[in-house]
A and B are shown apart, each in its own frame.
Chain A
Amino acid sequence: MDSVISLENVGKVYRNGGVDTPALSSINLKIGKGDFASIMGPSGSGKSTLLHIIGALDKPSSGKVIIDGKEVSKLKEPEIAKLRGEKIGFVFQFFNLYPTLTALENVELPMVIAGKEKKERVKRAKELLEMVGLKEKANSFPSQLSGGQKQRVAIARALANNPLFVLADEPTGNLDSKSGKDIIDILENLNKKEGKTVVIITHDQSIASHSKHIIRIEDGRIVGGAK
């Protein structure tokens, strides 16, 4: 299996007031194309740091991060931005939708940033909203949507530029169990039917049970599941 994400001996140390706090050490990890991986660990284990590094939002203090065959630390800022925009689809725990834009416009946003044509954007955004079952909510603002609906819009937004993988950070952490299950179903379908690579960070065992590949992390080290 081709690897979409590859971490080689990655370490992360936070320096604060001359004190070094290690967050991750010696992480070796490969996530292949079409994988459905869960990264699990208790809070403070370093899973959020790992998510940021996989998502090219943060740089490791040591080691290599290779996404789609490119070593992230060797890329310049605009190239990293492009990588985030076109290869990675983020889904956040708190949705992070743009409050002044409609659902449709929120889904369009990554395509706006990527410089795509209006016509193409609207067409794709409508298809994606239909896919997550929110066709009729296209013109609603985030404040008019329920938590589950917001997260579905966020998933549609994550898929806008047809990314290489979807990176979800506790996607059900802020939802009731029914909505949470809907979200996991959507992500699972995406993986099964379209072969989309999905990486979920969670501490919820029931979500992890849906995944093909569970990576457990404790005290900044992988304690099981890495390939």
Chain B
Amino acid sequence: MRIEDIFRMSLNTILSRKLRSGLTILGIVMGVAAVIALVSIGQGLQESVNQQLSSLGGNLVLITPGSERATQGFGFAGGFGGQNSKTLTDSDLRIIKIIPGILYATGVVSGSVSLEYNSQKSESRAQGVEPGVWELVQSVDLESGRFLSKSDPNGVVIGNRVAHSLFKKEVGINSQIKINNKIFHVVGILKSTGGFIGGSGDNSVIISKTSADDINLVSSGEKDSYSTIYVKTTEGSDTETVSGYIQDRLRSNHHVSEQNQDFTINTSKTIQARVGTIIGTITLFLGGIAAISLFVGGVGIANTMFTSVMERTKEIGVLKSLGMANSDILRMILVESALLGLMGGAIGVFFGTLASSIISSIGGISPAAGPLAGRAVGTYVSLEMVLFALLFSVCVGAVSGLFPARRAANLQPVEALRYE
């Protein structure tokens, strides 16, 4: 029997029992839709993190106070706002600066501040940075205005949210804003970063290190310590090697060993790997839950195929009397169940993608906050995932049909013909 005729017969059977076929594939549809939607959240998250990290640049090294163990493996806790432990000092910065392969190294202090604009008060985080260097290390772009310069001690560069939504009235270039009751002039507004990495969030304000000292951003006892040291390596050097040098020098400067190390070094690569692992686990967990429904869908197909084979016992007997070989019967039932799987998979992909874009648009993961604002990054349905889902559904269908198909093929023609 020709394979195209087997497909035609299987399709004919499926289409002639539309309601039953529809109900049968419902399980697969829901399973695939759930897998696509849930995994797309994970992949979207991963994609957005990757893009943010790549915007930081591959040759960035971040040094934060506190040990990795203390932050329970997340490592970049300093980046989330810093710990005011007094472990990164000017002397550390000086040591780092002379390590070969380093283009820039700059320390940043950060802390909470009160803001006041147009008689409206708010809280924010401020970073005290080294004008002229910070912007070279941080790959953040300006929306308008300019970066800080050494000649304007009272200048401030504000995050995107601070400018546009923190206050009722928009904060523009040259506006005056009070930080810890001291008047600053807005010289620049940053582009939205969505940044939860590196601490340069949309909610923060950037002032010079000198001004930070003036407004007591950190307590006076911690004035010579940094909440983060940013290092940018030279083009030709290997960031991982350089971060190894930094680690060695800082350990000897702090008289610590691996066990009691009081600082954490991260490169964009290590951050990416860690975030990737976390997101991967979440994705796997979500996908696993959804996969259970796919499995249940498969059981549904097996069940229907069994009933179908039972009901069609006589029909199968007739086909055998008309010369259909056992192998063709087997193929016909298998193709039928695989087609059911494929149809379920295809419809599932459609609804999964739809659900994914709905999740994205209602902002479950706030796609509008990232540097990819305007581009939907909340969820991400990849071609590989779609192909995998389709292939998987076909396999689920075929495997579910295997047992019923064997049963049909092995029916004795005379028994089958007698069946009522």
Chain A positions near chain B (C-beta within 8 angstroms): 52, 55, 57-58, 77-78, 81-86, 88, 90, 92, 96, 98-101, 109-110, 112-115, 157, 161
Contacts and interface: CB of A to CB of B under 8 A. Distances in A.
Nearest to B17: A100
A98 B321 CA distance: 13
A161 B322 CA distance: 10
A100 B9 CA distance: 10
Contacts of B71: none
B13 interface: yes
Nearest to A157: B322
Contacts of B12: 100-101
B214 interface: no
Interface stretch (B177-185, B203-211, B325-333, B365-373): B325-333
A223 to B, nearest CB: 24
B325 A82 contact: yes
Given A78-B326, A92-B417, A112-B2, 10 more contacts: A55-B321, A57-B320, A81-B324, A84-B320, A86-B323, A92-B318, A96-B321, A109-B322, A112-B1, A115-B5
A107 B12 CA distance: 16
Contact of A115 (B2, B13, B315, B414): B2
A82 B323 contact: yes
Contact of B323 (A58, A98, A101, A113): A113
Given A57-B414, A81-B320, A113 B314 contact: no
B1 A115 contact: yes
A84 B414 contact: no
A85 B321 CA distance: 7
B323 A110 contact: yes
Interface residues of B, number: 24
Contacts of A84: 320-323, 413
B325 A90 contact: no
Nearest to A53: B414
B310 interface: no
A113 to B, nearest CB: 5
A173 to B, nearest CB: 15
10 contacts: A57-B321, A77-B326, A96-B318, A98-B318, A99-B16, A100-B16, A112-B2, A113-B323, A114-B1, A114-B323
A161 to B, nearest CB: 7
A81 B314 contact: no
Nearest to A116: B2
A57 B417 contact: yes
B414 A58 contact: yes
B319 interface: yes
A58 B320 CA distance: 12
A90 B416 CA distance: 15
Contact of B13 (A77, A83, A100, A113): A100
A55 B321 CA distance: 8
Report the 7 A-B pairs with minimum CB-CB distance, sorted nearest first: A85-B323, A100-B16, A81-B325, A58-B414, A96-B318, A57-B413, A57-B414
A85 to B, nearest CB: 2
A52 B321 CA distance: 10
Contact of B324 (A96, A101, A113): A113
B325 A78 contact: yes
Contact of B326 (A81, A90, A115, A157): A81
A114 B1 CA distance: 6
Contacts of B318: 92, 96, 98
A109 B2 CA distance: 12
Contacts of B326: 77-78, 81
Contacts of A52: 414, 417
